[in-house]
A and B are shown apart, each in its own frame.
Chain A
Amino acid sequence: EVQLVESGGVVVQPGGSLRLSCATSGFNFDDYTMHWVRHTPGKGLEWVSLITWDGSGAYYADSVEGRFTISRDNSKNSLYLQMNSLTTEDTALYHCAKEGDTRRMFWFSDVWGRGTLVTVSA
């Protein structure tokens, strides 16, 4: 069974930093591009970032470009999101998601994690 489990979400002050993790199992992690997508009650789902299967390419939404860094460790089947210079606008439930086909990018996601909650508040 494919599983994605996020962790690392906490309450952090504006301007602070945070690192999210996504532990995966049940599939060949190093064959798939992975995504971070966030969810807020007001805006719904918002794509944040993706990293290609081999880590050679990383892409970001304009809203997080220059502040967030996506990475992966294929030896640990894990995905990460380093979040810096956080603002209240970054408050959301952050999901990691696996693409639905091997060795593609900017594709639909067929499996998602339940998410980890990031709250940016003074």
Chain B
Amino acid sequence: EIVLTQSPGTLSLSPGERATLSCRASQSVSSSYLAWYQQKPGQAPRLLIYGASSRATGIPDRFSGSGSGTDFTLTISRLEPEDFAVYYCQQYGSSLTFGQGTKLEIK
């Protein structure tokens, strides 16, 4: 099983700042089959990025994904108030596993 480790566990930033979230895999993720989701309390998870770097439909361009192999990054270029949430990475190259999440909170 591929284990995904997200860091940091909690990230405290202010609106307008840049956020960089990391997802590291215990082994290489084939074909960059890596997705990112946003989850807010009481809401359904929302797909942000798939294929490591492709934005899902309707996702603002301030969200971007990068990486390959075992190291992946989600970047939010300028934080909006609605971006404060928990973010999960998921690999789908070998079965399905999720990272434990990064909580992005307002500083």
Contacts and interface: CB of A to CB of B under 8 A. Distances in A.
Q: Which of A4, A35, A46, A47 has the most CB of B within 10 A?
A: A47
A110 B47 contact: yes
B35 interface: yes
Chain B interface mostly helix, strand, loop or mixed?
Answer: loop
Interface string A80-122: 0000000000000001010010000011111111110000000
Chain A interface mostly helix, strand, loop or mixed?
Answer: strand
A4 B46 CA distance: 13
Interface string A37-48: 101000111110
Interface residues of B, number: 24
B35 A106 contact: no
Interface residues of A, number: 23
Given A107-B92, A108-B90, A43 B47 contact: no
B44 A108 contact: no
Contact of B98 (A47, A50, A111): A47
Given A45-B98, A47-B98, A109 B42 contact: no
Interface of A: 4, 35, 37, 39, 43-47, 50, 95, 97, 100, 106-115
Interface of B: 33, 35, 37, 39, 42-47, 50, 56-57, 86, 88, 90, 92, 95-101
